[in-house]
Structure 1
Amino acid sequence: MTDLRTALREAAERLAATSDTARLDAELLLAHALGVSRNDLLLGRAQGEVPTQFEALIRRRIDHEPIAYILGTQPFCDLDLAVSPAVLIPRGDSETLIEVARAAREGRPPACILDLGTGSGALLLAALSLWPEAEGIGLERSADARAIASRNATAHGLAARARIIAGDWTSAGWTDGLGRFDLILANPPYVEDNAELAPSVRAHEPAEALFAGPQGLDDYRRLIPAIPSLLAPGGTALFEIGHRQSAAVAALAETAGLTVKVHQDLAGRPRCVELA
């Protein structure tokens, strides 16, 4: 009979060819199979036999399925968010938008927030958590993604302030009736169609949330011209960008009559454009 320590070591060895974080992955998956926290596992509080489902979880990870989808959750800005293959996995890079928003709206808390392509609701819910008096709309064309976002809003006590609605910015008149907003957040698709991506991303995350034409700019070209009609006076719009896209996105914004600031992520790469 394999004990938990041995099972953990063997799983990490098997995952090494798939993951750069093999030991962490093994710890998370074993804790999940046991129904305990990773801390409990590491502190020796988990007891008993290796769960039979642990092997199935390891096989899923060997097949490059992202840990977040296997566990069904992903942390983002101190929120534990439900995720599924219907939504892009929230990433630490996207937290840059929330930090920029915090600084940009210092002393001017937004009353109305719009999240374009809300997915799991990560940006909208993080912003609503930051400003408890604010209300917001999460626009999303995928019904499955809207269900995830609504579930997350309810789980974090934000359902009364977060309205998740259907919308598709590739359709004419998509801004009709939305109104104007003090803060607009957007992490649109921005990956080039032929970009080299890790198998865990290309094979498992939703293509419609990733790819945006040969230059990765198609959705910026649709969205940015609409921003002046959606911003309230003195409003701020923040877009996540790929690290080589700042000049192209800035040019689109300037053509739309917007002022532009580019902000870097923690790795020092351009990650967010601030439009006003």
Structure 2
Amino acid sequence: MSWIIADAHVHLPSVEHLASLATSARRNFLRAERRHRLADAVSRCLFLADLRDGTTFAQIRSLAEERRTPSDAFALHPTREAQAVRLAFHDGCALVLIAARQIVTAEAIEVLAIGLTRPYADGRPLGMVLEDLSREDLLLILPWGVGKWLGQRGRIIADAVDGWRGDQLFLGDNGNRPFFWPLPPVFAAGQRGRCRNLPGSDPLPLAGEEGQAGRCGFWCEGVVDADRPFASVAALLRDPVTALHPYGAGETAYRFCRNQLLLRMAR
């Protein structure tokens, strides 16, 4: 039996942090695989979301095409897709890096466009962003965020989910959500087969946070096409028959409060 395990929400501040992030993701993936007994062939994926006009994934892709690498611990290999790069450790363990963009809407709601390699402007209404990007062969994720799913914004997200009729839109639980903070009710839509949950670790822009990569995510049965990883993963996730299994514990109260304080101090 073959499996896919993925972290659907990863940020990389620069290529210089790739070795640390990849090593952490590998360690956390292997831990989750042991816990869930994914013993046979496992494909490991990171959805790598650039912010605004970020070019980190493009730089990684260029390194892969030039057969260069920022670390002696692994090699980078291009695929036939612009959206995917294979990162292979020298012991045979590999990660598939899939391009994504994080977009902030006019309502300050985040959207992850998985498979999008070009820049996309922030500041447009959520409905317009979803309608526009749904015309492309992408996966769209609305990731949980501290305070961003409450009040008026929470109603906007709920309306978007209630009105959605396609197979491209997902919700995304978040590794930063503390264990005592319940998921918003809109996540129940995923339990009814619409806008299902694709969790991710969402490493914060703080020192050492790349160590969180792979700590939260999902796993499912399936095979990743080595030549066209994004297309094969997207097809599986858009298929309602594919059973998606979230993994990863909520953040501790101490780390949650500490991180929120550090973020506010850094502003």
* TM-score when normalising by structure 1: 0.30
Q: Counting strand residues as a fraction of each chain, which structure ranks higher?
A: 2
* TM-score when normalising by structure 2: 0.31
Structure scoring higher RCO (CA < 8 A, sep ≥ 6) equals 2
Q: Counting helix residues as a fraction of each chain, which structure ranks higher?
A: 1
Structure with the greater alpha carbon radius of gyration: 1
